[in-house]
Structure 1
């Protein structure tokens, strides 16, 4: 039984290596290279570790980190959907739910059930942990775009209203970080890297 579990865990580890090949629209800080999903997930987990003191309420940091490390694994099958995409909803949950069952299903049943539950909790963004994790997920691309003189905002013609609407959910996880983010958005308009 133990060797069977180990084999399944190794298969999962091999499978999730594919996350390194899923490119996002957002570019790395001060760079023209697209970030991949694995880099994004790692960066968010580290951000949560550093910024957890700014959460609106005390959160279970380990659960937040788990959410951030696994939240985009479904994109191995479903692909990355640009948050400002006009054609496809960013909340393509049915496609992603199917991917979650397949990919997490490679694991032993107890681990699969735990990770699917954590992934679903993140997607539903109702718990304090999910709200803080989501705040990290929305903050990182904002930091990247401001470091890249507008980055994907300029590239895809994204305006202030769209950015503000997508980023204001940060306040559900951290009002402190939201005030910082809001200032970055306003500064971006002043600098001319985000059109109003």
Structure 2
């Protein structure tokens, strides 16, 4: 291990730690004062990935967990782009910016190309594992929305519109989201 490698690890670690301080902008736009950070969201996603894959041998758990952890690292450079911004700049522009940020962040470290490939697999939804992480990303947002609503926050109805759309590949997630919606309305 060279001094250069150690320096590259240190720089990436600093960027990852900064995600703990980066609030998710979509929540701020909806008036949530103490919005979760990108790192808190990523932890929630990884925890859900661990839980929902514990008894599922049809997916590679290690890849699912790795994708869950890498999926938002690029936000350390580009920030958290809420849906309102993504709608205006387009998915292709967002994806290209995220890829360039991830390349900048991960190329200097040994094995960084592996992290970039995991993110590319996730971004493309190229495998069942990638589609599961994308689905869980959405589910985690709904779990958080329910928690915010229980704490008295409003203006979150839009998150629940078509909440199970795109989850057909994962019936257990559809049932889980249905249960969340029932708790919300009950």
2:101 equivalent in structure 1: 99
Determine which structure has the larger strand proportion and give its number.
Answer: 1
Deviation at 1:101?
1.4
| Maintained 8 Å contact 1:64/1:133 | yes
Distance 1:119 1:176 in 2: 24
CA distance in 2, matches of 1:145, 1:67: 22
Q: Distance in 1 between matches of 2:141 and 2:78?
A: 20
The answer to whether the 8 A contact 1:41-1:69 is kept is yes
After superposition, the Cα gap between the structure-2 partners of 1:167 and 1:78, relative to the gap in structure 1 and judged at 3 Å, is: farther
Q: Which residue does the alignment assign to 1:170?
A: 167
Residue 131 and residue 159 in structure 1: after superposition, are their counterparts in 2 closer, same or farther (change >3 A)?
A: closer
- Whether contact under 8 Å (1:139, 1:181) holds in the other structure is yes
Question: Any unmatched runs of 5+ in structure 2?
Answer: none
Matched-pair contact (CA < 8 Å) for 1:136–1:170? no
Number of positions where the alignment pairs a residue of Structure 1 with one of Structure 2: 179
The superposition leaves residues 61-93 of structure 1 with CA deviations (integer Å, 9 ceiling, x where unpaired) of 111111111110111222212246554446611
Shift of the 84–181 alpha-carbon distance from structure 1 to 2, 3 Å rule, reads: farther
Alignment of 1:26-175 (within 5 A): 26=27, 33-53=34-54, 58-83=58-83, 86-89=87-90, 92-108=94-110, 111-149=111-149, 154-155=154-155, 158=158, 160=160, 163-164=161-162, 167-172=164-169, 174-175=170-171
**RMSD of aligned residue pairs (Cα, Å):** 2.8
**Which residue does the alignment assign to 2:176?**
180
TM-score (norm 2): 0.80
Alpha-carbon separation, structure 1, partners of 2:46 and 2:159: 28
**CA 1:35–1:66 in 2, change beyond 3 Å: closer, same or farther?**
same
Indicate whether 1:22 and 2:29 are aligned: no
Query: Using the alignment, how far apart are the partners of 2:95 and 2:53 within structure 1?
Result: 27
